[in-house]
Structure 1
Amino acid sequence: MDLKPRADLVPNTRAYEEIPLVKPTGFREYDARWLFGSEINLLGVRLLGMGLGTMLHERGVRPEIVVGHDYRSYSSSIKQALIAGLLASGCTVHDIGLAMTPMAYFAQFDLDVPAVAMVTASHNDNGWTGVKMGMQRPLTFGPDEMAALRDIVMEGRVTLRPGGELKLVPDMAERYMADLSDRPKLTRKLKVVAACGNGTAGAFAPEVLRRIGCEVVELDCTLDHSFPRYNPNPEDMKMLHALAEAVTETGADIGLGFDGDGDRCGVVDDKGRELFADKVGVMLARDLSALHPGATFVVDVKSTGLFLTDPVLQENGAKVDYWKTGHSHIKRRCAEINALAGFEKSGHYFFNPPVGRGYDDGLVSAIAICDMLERNPSKSMAELREALPQTWGSPTMSPHCPDEKKYEIVDRVTRHYQRLAAGSGQIAGLPIRELVTVNGVRVTLADGTWGLVRASSNKPELVVVCESPESEDMMKAMFKNIDLHLSDYPEVGEYNQKI
């Protein structure tokens, strides 16, 4: 087998069956994502396993790794190809079978294994595959590690070693669920709608919620890799609308929506209103900072400005650090500055001890939300939300932009707003107060209204988010300005959703 991949192979050819296909753009900022068949083939996945095993040896990491796969029609075969490559590179592989991503992270601790490779495309459409990787628990690969792995794989610099061993771990799901439910049961009777979009979480989330004392109404929890109703993505308004309808129909106290690999959680309150995950993060930060005064929280640049201005967080002495979007970025930042928790607008939440182990787990997040309601027995989820200062925010909106062009476009957008700010330009009649360029560009106006443009780290898209503490009209005016500017670039296409 040729160990140097190509990016231009065509299916149903001899070369496709003899040469690894790996498109280099699949190595993203903090995980790997490809369209299976057209951007990576099984030989390419095997080469990825060889490259990852080679990297563990080169970095001096004990060559032992946890591997699991999500519920897609092709994920098991991709995992087997990955395992074959890891074994060829001399690794001991612990195969935990069908799993949510946080179950694989848990297995690193439970089995005392340093590395992880979870085969999942998370919430991406069918056809996508990917791998979330790490070699220093609870952290996962960031840009440096992903770039190093890309170079090893794309240059074919893999080293084959003897000694590979496969160990099957058939009971990891039960060990994981037992660990989450080994706690006092809730005393508050909570009726919960658990929505899983027919993704992997459907096999585990309802059971865990029942074990901690919830009455559970299941919504789209039967595993079906065709995702017949909607993609399992708690940022997708279609999923949130379905969850809201179920909460209203059943009279539930809360709706909890889990993404395709179970590391994110979306929320609908008892009035059937969708709550953006960053607002839920503010609510959780209020709750946790009351228990841990002076706690530090990390939030991503897509998140609400309330983390800085909320009077309750200020009274509790909470410290807030805005950081790069992406589960690996926030996870790593939480560890670096010893933050109690980290929150992303996408619904990735990270809890360090005593709440969690530092990685993102949609079920740990769901339990934290239930505990918040337990500690506020006289208040509903809607009342806790209504206690926050009002802001008007957009959903996360993603116009298509090719992987090869998206970072260049964001750089050009950033320079546009830098020139506008330097020239005392205005948006909606207001001057620009601040530009944050740690991850794309976040433009804040004099009244606190802001808009963000960044490149998606795992899809050929841009990401646009807007919010205003003043009015819905100002939020829409901010988006109109961004949208009008993006229309100048022919590389920017249709949005997945739009206000």
Structure 2
Amino acid sequence: MFPTPKPVLTPNTYAYESEPMVKPTGFREYDARWLFQKEINLMGVQALGMGLGTLMHEMGVKPEIVTGHDFRSYSSSIKLALVSGLMAAGIKVHDIGLAMSPMAYFAQFALDVPAVAMVTASHNDNGWTGVKMGVNRPLTFGPDEMTRLKEIVLGAKFDLKGGGAYVFVENFPEVYIKDLTNRPKLKHPIKAVVACGNGTAGAFAPKILEALGVEVVPLDTELDHTFPKYNPNPEDMEMLHAMRDAVLEHKADVALGFDGDGDRCGVVDNTGEEIFADKVGVLLARDLAKIYPNSTFVVDVKSTGLFATDPELIKLGVKADYWKTGHSYMKRRVNETGALVGFEKSGHYFFNKPVGRGYDDGLVSAIAVLDMLDRNPGKKLSELREALPKTWSSPTMSPHCADEAKYGVVAKVVEHYEKLAAEGALVTGQKIRDLVTVNGVRVTCEDGSWGLLRASSNKPELVVVVESPVSEARMREMFKEIDGVLRQHPGIGEYNQTI
């Protein structure tokens, strides 16, 4: 019988090498993430594989799964431990090797396999690992599945049928690359900085974009799992600033930046202006709504209010559906509503039929930006950006807060603003016009300025975003307001970045 996982074990001991360690907080809302060797060991990963296989049997899913791993020094060993657990539970594993997360999602369709388990820590710092999982393409697990998986793993309630199998899928990247490039080349010349932060996308993105006729200026595309320049995260200003500098140096038309597992894309325009991903989403919505009028776009609660107020989108009959932040929530909402695209401020975009297959792929997003530029040959990206109604927006800002405490803090802040709204009290001198509590709390004042607080789904952090259509000063007032309420609670640490 496989041992019951322990929440903590001391490294460099007999117990650490002989028992599984799995910290319970690693099971998050829609995927799993741990600090490797501190919160999970290889036997713990093996237990996770057994648990996932057991859950697949419970759900009546065909016992076959696609797996791959991102470019970190330890990801391959973690994947092999996961594979051993899946096989012990009687699952046939199709291993596509080194891959981006969207390549694993694509493999579910290309190989006709129902389930996926992609070993990746996405944009998290080195030291983190995790698994993105799903059994119903193109969807990934939500809270219900993650809760049940946690129960199975931590309780060692494994159904070890045996009889699993392993197949390595040779040259699978070529199948993925062909799928994205088997289309007409761009009609007009475009010079693009392609930034990968030395992460996994560096092995694939330049080749794909060059095949579409793009003049590629590579930036940190060499694979290096130490991430020597910066963490590959196109929400972080450090990466965006590096992209800006490269655009200006090479006089490029655009910079496209990819995160650690290639499912997100960040954009910098020809003037070096960093366009936050939600604003890029508005530009893409304008472009696509001309081809597909009266479309619905799902938008996460961190995103700009322009999806609902932009005159051009209103004229094209667009409906904005603000929903929970998180790739699993967004994917599911897009799938259920039949929306054309889901846009998340983090840079996860979900292109549904007929544009895509419903999952998030940074390369598909990059190609959509390039197609938009190609359909507007007389305009620079900066001109398209400047045509949007002006708003002042913050980046995503995350103060540290322990996993065990963050949801409680958010619940108290939600309660605080619900009470103010019920009493008709003022926030920054104005009444509350709207309160959205589908995911944390988004407080909108009478002049349209708003602030959001929610718990991060994949790190011990909170998330704060603010925006104002009035002025930078109003944006800063909203930040001071949200941060002031937040600081009334203990255990709130420093921000990773701020305005």
User: Aligning the two structures, in what range does the TM-score lie when normalised by the shorter sequence?
Assistant: over 0.9
Please say if 1:117 is aligned against 2:124.
no
Q: Matches of 1:412 and 1:483 in 2, distance apart?
A: 14
Determine if contact 1:298/1:341 at 8 Å carries over to the other structure.
yes
Please say if 1:421 is aligned against 2:412.
no
Which amino acid in the other structure matches residue 223 of structure 2? L
* Partner-residue secondary structure (3-state), 1:434: strand
Which amino acid in the other structure matches residue 210 of structure 2? R
* Partner-residue secondary structure (3-state), 2:409: helix
Q: Equivalences for 1:74-89 in 2 at 5 Å?
A: 74-89=74-89
How far the C-alpha of 1:171 sits from its partner, in A, is 1.0
* Partner-residue secondary structure (3-state), 1:396: coil
How far the C-alpha of 1:58 sits from its partner, in A, is 1.0
* Structure 2 residue aligned with 1:260: 260
Q: Equivalences for 1:68-217 in 2 at 5 Å?
A: 68-217=68-217
How far the C-alpha of 1:265 sits from its partner, in A, is 0.1
Q: Equivalences for 1:354-369 in 2 at 5 Å?
A: 354-369=354-369
Q: Matches of 2:145 and 2:282 in 1, distance apart?
A: 31
- 1:409-444 residue CA offsets vs partner (Å, 9 max, x unmatched): 000111111122222222221111111000000000
* Partner-residue secondary structure (3-state), 1:395: coil
Which amino acid in the other structure matches residue 204 of structure 1? F
* Structure 1 residue aligned with 2:384: 384
Q: Equivalences for 1:272-351 in 2 at 5 Å?
A: 272-351=272-351
Please say if 1:41 is aligned against 2:41.
yes
TM-score normalised by structure 2 residue count? 0.99
Please say if 1:407 is aligned against 2:403.
no
Q: Matches of 2:149 and 2:183 in 1, distance apart?
A: 40
Which amino acid in the other structure matches residue 425 of structure 1? A
TM-score normalised by structure 1 residue count? 0.99
Q: Matches of 2:171 and 2:354 in 1, distance apart?
A: 26
How far the C-alpha of 1:3 sits from its partner, in A, is 2.9
How far the C-alpha of 1:168 sits from its partner, in A, is 0.5
* Partner-residue secondary structure (3-state), 2:84: helix
Q: Matches of 1:199 and 1:273 in 2, distance apart?
A: 23
- 1:46-68 residue CA offsets vs partner (Å, 9 max, x unmatched): 00000001111111000100000
* Partner-residue secondary structure (3-state), 2:379: coil
* Partner-residue secondary structure (3-state), 2:33: strand
Determine if contact 1:50/1:160 at 8 Å carries over to the other structure.
yes
Please say if 1:228 is aligned against 2:195.
no
Moved more, 383-392 or 1-10: 1-10
Could you tell me which runs of 5 or more consecutive residues in structure 2 were left unpaired when the two chains were aligned.
none
Determine if contact 1:400/1:493 at 8 Å carries over to the other structure.
yes
How far the C-alpha of 1:484 sits from its partner, in A, is 1.4
* Structure 1 residue aligned with 2:18: 18
Please say if 1:489 is aligned against 2:489.
yes
- 1:231-262 residue CA offsets vs partner (Å, 9 max, x unmatched): 00000000000000000000000000000000
* Structure 1 residue aligned with 2:454: 454
How far the C-alpha of 1:2 sits from its partner, in A, is 3.7
- 1:92-148 residue CA offsets vs partner (Å, 9 max, x unmatched): 000000000000001000000000000000000000000000000000001111111
Q: Matches of 2:2 and 2:318 in 1, distance apart?
A: 55
Q: Matches of 1:422 and 1:10 in 2, distance apart?
A: 50
Q: Matches of 2:472 and 2:401 in 1, distance apart?
A: 27
Determine if contact 1:2/1:18 at 8 Å carries over to the other structure.
no
* Partner-residue secondary structure (3-state), 2:147: helix
* Structure 2 residue aligned with 1:63: 63
How far the C-alpha of 1:390 sits from its partner, in A, is 0.4
Moved more, 6-15 or 280-289: 6-15
* Partner-residue secondary structure (3-state), 2:408: helix
Which amino acid in the other structure matches residue 221 of structure 2? C
* Partner-residue secondary structure (3-state), 1:288: helix
* Partner-residue secondary structure (3-state), 2:226: coil
* Partner-residue secondary structure (3-state), 2:451: strand
Q: Matches of 1:428 and 1:377 in 2, distance apart?
A: 44
Please say if 1:245 is aligned against 2:242.
no
Q: Matches of 2:462 and 2:353 in 1, distance apart?
A: 34
Which amino acid in the other structure matches residue 476 of structure 1? R
Please say if 1:271 is aligned against 2:255.
no
Q: Matches of 1:128 and 1:94 in 2, distance apart?
A: 24
How far the C-alpha of 1:162 sits from its partner, in A, is 2.4
Q: Matches of 1:423 and 1:14 in 2, distance apart?
A: 60
* Partner-residue secondary structure (3-state), 2:266: strand
* Residues paired across the two proteins, number: 499
Which amino acid in the other structure matches residue 19 of structure 1? E
| Identical columns (%) | 69
Q: Matches of 1:33 and 1:313 in 2, distance apart?
A: 38
* Structure 2 residue aligned with 1:498: 498
Determine if contact 1:290/1:316 at 8 Å carries over to the other structure.
yes
* Partner-residue secondary structure (3-state), 2:262: coil
* Partner-residue secondary structure (3-state), 2:186: coil
- 1:331-361 residue CA offsets vs partner (Å, 9 max, x unmatched): 0000000001000000000001111110000
* Structure 1 residue aligned with 2:393: 393
Q: Matches of 1:3 and 1:153 in 2, distance apart?
A: 10
* Partner-residue secondary structure (3-state), 2:132: strand
How far the C-alpha of 1:396 sits from its partner, in A, is 0.2
CA RMSD of aligned residues (A): 0.7
Q: Matches of 2:265 and 2:281 in 1, distance apart?
A: 11
* Partner-residue secondary structure (3-state), 2:279: helix
* Structure 1 residue aligned with 2:437: 437
